[in-house]
Amino acid sequence: MRTGNSGTLIRFVAFWDRLRASPPLKRASLFVIAGFILALLALLPTPEESPVADAERFAFDQQMRILRKVRPRALADDVVLVGTNEETYRVFEEPFALWHRHFAEVMHALAKAKPRAVGVDFVLPQRSFERISPGIDLAMMRGLLDLKRATHLVYVQTVDSQGNFVDVQQNYRSIIAPENLGVDQHFVDPDGVSRRFGRHFDERSGREQPTLVSQLLLGLGKRGGEGYIDYSLGAPLDYVPIHRVRAWDDAALQKAFGGKVVLVGSLVGSVDRWRLPTKLLRIDPGRPAKLPEGDPQEYTQPGMLIHAQALRSHLGPGLLHPVPWPIHIALAALALLGVLVKARPGVVVAIGALVPVALLVASLAALAFAQVLLPLAMLVLGFWLALVARGVFDAAEAVVERLRLHASFAGQVSPAVMREMLGGNLSPGVSGQLAEVCVLFSDVRDFTTLSENMPPVVVTTVLQRYFDRMVKAVHRYDGTVDKFIGDGMMVLFGAPRKSEDPCGDAVKCALSMMEGLDALNDEFRREGLPTLTIGIGINFGVVTVGNIGSSERHNYSAIGDAVNVAARLEGLTKDLGRKILITEDVVSRIEERFKFDPLGSHNVKGHSPVRIWGIRTVRAASAA
């Protein structure tokens, strides 16, 4: 098992290196990965119920609402609605099943106006009520015949609980022929919203069943198409209360309905109400005047409006048609080319926000001017997936590079320098900048004499254990080991990252180094190894820090007078019999926290006299 896992890891690393080394392969791989994820989102669990399909429906609704606001398009010969409201039920005192005479009066009134077509979204009476109200069937028949002679009349036909069409009762069969009937069926998406229009087929027989809208269109000399209903088309709809129509004079009837397509139906109650992408009625009598923001009822409207908007779409520019699948796939492939985007995170975020806006504008233009429905959600999701795939790969690549850099240089540079390298804060190549730092030099006294009496392997072991202990103290106080000089060490405090208290950190580090050396010497005594004595010099000043050296070989270091003084100070520790020597520049910044001994001014090679201080340690240093 271990061998198999190791082989898999090796192959993965090899493939990763191939990806990094070949930009075309990397781009192709990211394209395939993003495309595969997009395909899963578009096909699972089914194409109609997938996340992409949900997003497309949401995008469709939002575009319809935007277009209704920013580009309202009124129709010259718009559909006219005649509907019931609460007042109708007060005026018509009989139960709805006995409204025959009222409907007849409305039909006689409409016949006078001679509309282009009339669609009735009320089901014809399914039984006779002659015994209850004699003469009502005859009144209804006269109204139907009068309106049928004046215009093209279509009544809605419904189905029973078993899915069978409800037959027209005997009284009306001689007037209402098959061409005067259309089924009341709508295409409903999985989210319960009606957005599409098309041919309706009986599930049992497989035969096409004409719908109310298709029958009306035939009477107008048009054929019903298939596609998405354009809910952005037309001004907000007003309606004429049905009980007022019968009281109008001929002039009013002609003005309201003459030459128009008229739809008659219910606008109140909780029955036959559907969720639609947009609000179509200017005033909906079937819902409260004010609804809370985001209330589900906001877009729940009478089913008659679906017929009205389908008619408007056919009478206007036409239904909306999605792009063919080959173009659909080609557009998705273009969106996936987002894997080519390589920029800083802020730029990528900006692109990720601006491209969807541009796509939305293009989609709105295609809808408004060409009746073409672009796959907006798929394009946006595909582009975002491409950006995410590229971002994840680049982030993984950066992490791998950081790990490799850390593994390669962890033992060669100080942790502070490593952090700056990984953070990209160190300029590449030879460079330098001025910084205030505290410089610490340490050196093992008489180590050359000691090493002459020890085997090389012992010398190496002693020196390594010594440096391990000293470096641990340096890192504890956030110091940076600049370099090792034989058995000596140069340390910076305040670079490469600025420190709030570089002098205090340097002095505490020096004391910690002495404590660590005492513990190490105890170990050496027990092991029969020679003990070590060190001297430390500390100075503060302005130096140049950065990548020092040649353009081909350089390393992070510091140069300047403050460095030279610290080195000379360490050399004086033996002469003055002190383990730690500090300049006045250091003491002046931390004097209140430590106890110092003034040692006067001393000549320093290559420099003017320097005032030097000693710091009290646990053990007094010998003069030798």
* pLDDT, tens only, 252-270: 999 999 999 999 999 987 7
The answer to whether residue 3 scores a pLDDT higher than 60 is: no
Q: What is the Cα gyration radius of the chain?
A: 45
Query: What is the pLDDT averaged over residues 543-572?
Result: 83
Query: What is the pLDDT averaged over residues 558-570?
Result: 91
Q: Per DSSP, which regions of 414-515 are E strands? A: 433-444, 480-485, 488-493
Whether 241 is covered by a domain: the verdict is yes
* HEC string for 117-171: EEEEEEECCCCCCCCCCCCHHHHHHHHHHHHHHHCEEEEEECECCCCCECCCCHH
309 and 338 belong to one structural domain: no
Final residue in a domain of this structure, among 293, 314, 335: 314
The share of the chain scoring above pLDDT 90, in percent, equals 59
pLDDT tens-digit map of 398-445: 776 665 554 444 444 555 555 555 555 555 444 568 889 999 999 998
97 and 186 belong to one structural domain: yes
Element (H, E) at 290: none
Give Cα separations from 342 to 60, 345, 379, 390, 608 (angstroms).
Answer: 31, 9, 19, 8, 56
Helices 376-409, 325-336: axis angle to 10 degrees equals: 30
- DSSP 8-state assignment for residue 179: G
Identify the CA nearest to 182 among candidates 208, 148, 206, 161.
Answer: 208
159 and 240 belong to one structural domain: yes
Instruction: Give dist(CA 53, CA 46) in Å, integer.
Output: 9
* Sequence-separated (6 or more) residues with CB below 8 Å from residue 615: 507, 510, 511, 580, 582, 594, 595, 596, 597
Instruction: Give dist(CA 289, CA 463) in Å, integer.
Output: 88
Query: What's the first-to-final CA gap in the chain, in angstroms?
Result: 63
Identify the CA nearest to 558 among candidates 482, 475, 473.
Answer: 482
440 and 500 belong to one structural domain: yes
Instruction: Give dist(CA 174, CA 107) in Å, integer.
Output: 17
The pTM (predicted TM-score) of the whole model is: 0.70
Give Cα separations from 90 to 85, 87, 235, 268, 532 (angstroms).
Answer: 9, 5, 30, 13, 111
* Sequence-separated (6 or more) residues with CB below 8 Å from residue 348: 341, 387, 391
Instruction: Give dist(CA 466, CA 529) in Å, integer.
Output: 12
Task: Identify the pLDDT of residue 618.
Answer: 39
Give Cα separations from 431 to 94, 419, 426, 542 (angstroms).
Answer: 97, 18, 9, 16
Helices 376-409, 345-370: axis angle to 10 degrees equals: 170
Phi, psi at 200, each rounded to 5°: -110, 135
Instruction: Give dist(CA 97, CA 136) in Å, integer.
Output: 11
Which CATH number goes with the domain that contains 432?
3.30.70.1230
459 and 535 belong to one structural domain: yes
453 and 589 belong to one structural domain: yes
* Sequence-separated (6 or more) residues with CB below 8 Å from residue 585: 539, 540, 541
Handedness of CA 359, 364, 365, 370 (dihedral sign): positive
The answer to whether residue 604 scores a pLDDT higher than 50 is: yes
214 and 334 belong to one structural domain: no
375 and 443 belong to one structural domain: no
Whether 529 is covered by a domain: the verdict is yes
Q: Which of 302-311, 315-324, 483-492 has the lowest mean pLDDT?
A: 483-492
For the record, the structure tokens of 210 come out as 């004409």
Whether 65 is covered by a domain: the verdict is no
Whether 256 is covered by a domain: the verdict is yes
Whether 450 is covered by a domain: the verdict is yes
Instruction: Give dist(CA 218, CA 221) in Å, integer.
Output: 5
Task: Identify the pLDDT of residue 201.
Answer: 82
158 and 216 belong to one structural domain: yes
Q: What residues make up the domain containing 520?
A: 427-615
The answer to whether residue 297 scores a pLDDT higher than 80 is: no
398 and 431 belong to one structural domain: no
Helices 23-43, 376-409: axis angle to 10 degrees equals: 140
pLDDT tens-digit map of 24-68: 888 888 999 999 999 999 999 999 999 999 999 999 999 999 999
Task: Identify the pLDDT of residue 272.
Answer: 84
- Is the bond leading into 95 cis (omega within 30 degrees of zero)? no
452 and 555 belong to one structural domain: yes
Question: Which of 375 and 427 is assigned the larger pLDDT?
Answer: 375
Instruction: Give dist(CA 361, CA 351) in Å, integer.
Output: 15
The share of the chain scoring above pLDDT 70, in percent, equals 87
**How many structural domains comprise the chain?**
3
Residue 71, classed as helix, strand or coil, is coil
Identify the CA nearest to 158 among candidates 212, 104, 196.
Answer: 212
- Is the bond leading into 375 cis (omega within 30 degrees of zero)? no
* Mean pLDDT over each residue of the chain, to the nearest integer: 87
The answer to whether residue 379 scores a pLDDT higher than 50 is: yes
399 and 382 belong to one structural domain: yes
Task: Identify the pLDDT of residue 577.
Answer: 86
The answer to whether residue 142 scores a pLDDT higher than 50 is: yes
- DSSP 8-state assignment for residue 190: T
The answer to whether residue 386 scores a pLDDT higher than 90 is: yes
Task: Identify the pLDDT of residue 621.
Answer: 38
Whether 190 is covered by a domain: the verdict is yes
Whether 26 is covered by a domain: the verdict is no
The answer to whether residue 22 scores a pLDDT higher than 70 is: yes
pLDDT tens-digit map of 488-527: 999 999 888 888 899 999 999 999 999 999 999 999 999 9
For the record, the structure tokens of 533 come out as 């004595």
Q: Report residue 9's pLDDT band, with 50, 70 and 90 as the boundaries.
A: low
The answer to whether residue 542 scores a pLDDT higher than 50 is: yes
Whether 505 is covered by a domain: the verdict is yes
Determine the distance from the C-alpha atom of residue 158 to the mean position of all C-alpha atoms in its chain, rounded to a whole number. Answer: 46
